[in-house]
Amino acid sequence: MILYGAPMPAPNPFRVRMFLAEKGIDLPETKVDMFKREHKSPEFRAKNSMGQIPTLELDDGTCISETVAICRYFEETNPTPPLFGTSAVEKALVDQWVRRVEFAVMMPVGSFWRHAHPRTAALLTQYKDFGESNKETYKGAQKYLNRELEGREFLVGDSLTMADICLLSTVDFAEWIGLPVEEEFTNLVAWRARMKTRPSASA
């Protein structure tokens, strides 16, 4: 099988790399040059019609895209250690937190990236006032996370899950584009520091 991805700071390929590292799965990443727009080529769109990475191509030619879908495939084929929860409640809570991270945290980060960052100015029409407004929205998301992480080592249960991986990839990318974690949110700062000590965080 082939895993198509890109190096940091691309957050979505990092999610899959960290997941695989936590699973102990050795699958080298085949790099796709996003700056050369290789992911938008007809050849790559034949694998992923949306022209996005990461994409996993199985031995039979089946292609899976979207980070959570790729990681779920590996969860099913390599169930230990479990990273999507074990009980019905844990599995539901992991799904809950993945959705919260993607909608409440990544959405303002992505909107700032698209509409206020100079690196994306040539790729789309930017609405800079809207883009800049997402700084406050993201700060509000951090405040919410800080409250939710009170007394918790992980977002769900007593071990790392896909929810933590999704959140770490998001806050790391946010920092790279100029939206750091605010020091006042001590629970979130401490959570991130714990995550960064994991070998998988440098995958």
> What angle, 0 to 180 degrees and rounded to 10, lies between the N-to-C axes of helices 11-23 and 67-77?
10
The average pLDDT across 3-21 equals 95
Residue 35: predicted pLDDT:
83
Mean pLDDT, residues 101-129: 94
The pLDDT tens digits of the residues spanning 39-74 come to 999 999 999 999 999 999 999 999 999 999 999 999
- The dihedral built from the CA positions of residue 69, 72, 77 and 78, taken in this order, carries a sign that is positive
Q: Which residues contact 38 (CB under 8 A, 6 or more apart)?
A: 32, 44
Tracing tokens 């990092």 back to the chain, one arrives at 14
Which long-range contacts link 37-41 to residues 24+ away (Cβ below 8 Å)? Answer: 39/4, 39/6
Q: What is the pLDDT of residue 61?
A: 97
pLDDT of 26 strictly over 90: yes
- H-assigned helices in the chain: 11-23, 42-45, 67-77, 88-100, 107-116, 128-148, 162-176, 186-196
State the pLDDT at residue 39. 95
| Lookup: tokens for 44 | 């790559």
Q: What is the pLDDT of residues 145-154, one digit of tens each?
A: 999 999 999 9
Record the tokens describing residue 5, joined without a space. Answer: 């991805």
The partner residues of 31 in beta bridges, in order of sequence, read: 5
pLDDT at 112 over 90: yes
Q: Which domains does the chain have, with CATH numbers?
A: 2-77 (3.40.30.10), 88-202 (1.20.1050.10)
Percentage with pLDDT > 70 across the chain: 100
Q: Across the chain, what does the average pLDDT equal?
A: 96
DSSP calls for 188-200: HHHHHHHHHTSGG
pLDDT value of position 6: 93
pLDDT at 9 exceeding the cut of 90: no
* Calpha distance 45→145 (Å, rounded): 36
104-129 average pLDDT score = 94
Residue 16, helix vs strand vs coil: helix
pTM for this prediction: 0.95
Residues 6+ apart with CB under 8 A from 115: 126, 127, 128, 130, 131, 134
pLDDT band, very low/low/confident/very high, at 8 (cuts 50, 70, 90): confident
pLDDT category of residue 182 using cuts at 50, 70 and 90: very high
Q: How far apart are CA 48 and CA 78, in angstroms?
A: 24
| pLDDT at residue 142, as a whole number | 98
What is the C-alpha to C-alpha distance for residues 66 and 73, in angstroms, rounded to an integer?
Answer: 11
pLDDT of residue 123: 84
Quick: pLDDT tens for 33-43: 988 889 999 99
In this prediction, residue 122 carries a pLDDT of 85
